[in-house]
Amino acid sequence: MTAGLFSFELRATDTLSAARASTFVTPHGAVEMPAFMPVGTQGTVKGLSVDAVRATGAQMILANTYHLALRPGEEVVKTLGGLHAFSGWSGPILTDSGGFQLFSLAQNTKVTEEGASFRSHIDGDLFELSPERAVAIQETLASDVAMVLDHVVALPNDQSVVRDATERTIRWARRCREAQTRGDQALFAIVQGGLDPQLRADCARALAELDFPGYAVGGLSVGEEPAEMYRILQATVPAMPADRPRYLMGVGRPRDLLEAIRRGIDLFDCVLPTRNGRNALAFTDAGPIRLRNVQFQCDPRPLEYDCPCAGCRHSRGYLRHLSMANEMLGPVLVSVHNLTYYQRLLAATREAIRHGRFSEFADAKLRGWESLED
């Protein structure tokens, strides 16, 4: 698939699963997929310089339209040169549309066919977001990939509520496309449909007809069991175009990534590596390390011997000390490690897919994580 400044090319497809390796080209560089985007909510991956983010192996980052529109405001970002110059991140950037934050953060959200109005979680100011406004803000921010405004609802919910929100999401996707004016920004559609496989597949097919350059699965990882999420992916992904990037929004744990890749997903974002990093929980191939545990007080080993990250140049004992002493460097170094862990996992996954051994790779990783149950 080539569309203007963007292209998506499949490099390898697994024979035993729907996993695939691909290259997605944007105006700010190529992304080898499957890929994981660190979350830079407010135009910064919490605590990390852009060099540190790059050093983890990250290729593309995510920023949040809702947060940036509230503070500092998209016009300030534009005046300072757009998101790339603003944040200093020269690689590809994806912005979400604010749909998820309307659902999770905003207060007194009212959704009509026209759009959503809500109170800011910062100062309670009234804010209005329509499909057109969501596109306009993202065009002002100047990300490489913009997301359509979707209508996210709590799960489980009445079938009629979910169906209504899903159908609105499709109508809003069309309005977003019609509002688009930039040729250097790819707009991705979002599949909704709750936990109803049929609704999900119908939504995916309806959006596919609109011919977007990329498709996301939204409204998952909102409290449902992982098995539920895998079941929904199983039903949804085959109805999404095979020649476009497929992005699973807001997911997830390392095992969720492999299970989703197995079902045909190419792109992820999630706050887990950085949020857990700030809470002194480190990911490793042998399961999680909770650094505040006293057993690590005098542990001279790095989190992982073979990890090249800046955190792994220190002992677990030192990282624990930083955490116990409430030193900023603790969250920074454990976030660096966790993001590096995710990027190394994705790099190894791409390699496994290209060499036709994804299933054995994934199974071995999953066995190693058996103690990783958070």
The residues carrying an active-site annotation are 96, 269
Footprint of its own copies on 268-307 (CB under 8 A): 297-298, 300
As measured in angstroms, the least distance from the Cβ of 43 to its own copies is 7
Tell me if 46 contacts its own copies by CB under 8 A. Answer: yes
Closer to its own copies by Cβ: residue 75 or 360: 75
DSSP reduced 3-state for 171:
helix
As measured in angstroms, the least distance from the Cβ of 193 to its own copies is 34
**Binding residue (CB under 8 A) for its own copies from 16, 154, 242, 328:** 328
Tell me if 329 contacts its own copies by CB under 8 A. Answer: yes
Select from 29-37, 47-55, 98-106, 134-142 the region that touches its own copies (CB under 8 A): 47-55
Spatial neighbors of 129 by CB under 8 A, at least 6 apart, are 66, 98, 102, 115, 116, 117, 118, 149
The Cα 263–Cα 20 span in angstroms is 9
The Cα 40–Cα 141 span in angstroms is 14
As measured in angstroms, the least distance from the Cβ of 67 to its own copies is 8
Contact mark string toward its own copies, 50..79, x via CB under 8 A: -x---------------x---xx---x--x
**Binding residue (CB under 8 A) for its own copies from 161, 315, 354, 372:** 315
Closer to its own copies by Cβ: residue 33 or 48: 48
The Cα 160–Cα 10 span in angstroms is 38
Amino acid at 156: P
Q: Give the strand order in the sheet containing 61-63.
A: 35-37, 267-269, 246-248, 214-217, 186-191, 145-147, 93-95, 61-63
The Cα 137–Cα 197 span in angstroms is 32
**Binding residue (CB under 8 A) for its own copies from 6, 86, 103, 215:** 86
Select from 13-21, 198-206, 315-323, 338-346 the region that touches its own copies (CB under 8 A): 315-323
Closer to its own copies by Cβ: residue 81 or 287: 81
C-alpha distances in Å from residue 171, one per residue of 161, 168, 177, 188 = 15, 5, 10, 14
Tell me if 145 contacts its own copies by CB under 8 A. Answer: no
Write the Ramachandran bin of 326: left for phi over 0, alpha for psi from -120 to 50, otherwise beta. Answer: left
Closer to its own copies by Cβ: residue 19 or 332: 332
Contact mark string toward its own copies, 194..233, x via CB under 8 A: ----------------------------------------
**Binding residue (CB under 8 A) for its own copies from 332, 334, 346, 353:** 332
Closer to its own copies by Cβ: residue 63 or 233: 63
**Beta-bridge mates of residue 55:** none
Q: Note whether 215 and 147 are within 8 A (CB).
A: no
Task: Tell me the pairing of strands 126-129 and 116-119.
Answer: antiparallel
Footprint of its own copies on 233-272 (CB under 8 A): none
Amino acid at 141: L
**Beta-bridge mates of residue 94:** 62, 145
Binding region for its own copies (CB under 8 A): 42-44, 46-49, 51, 67, 71-72, 76, 79-81, 85-88, 297-298, 300, 310, 313-315, 317-318, 320-322, 324-325, 327-329, 331-333
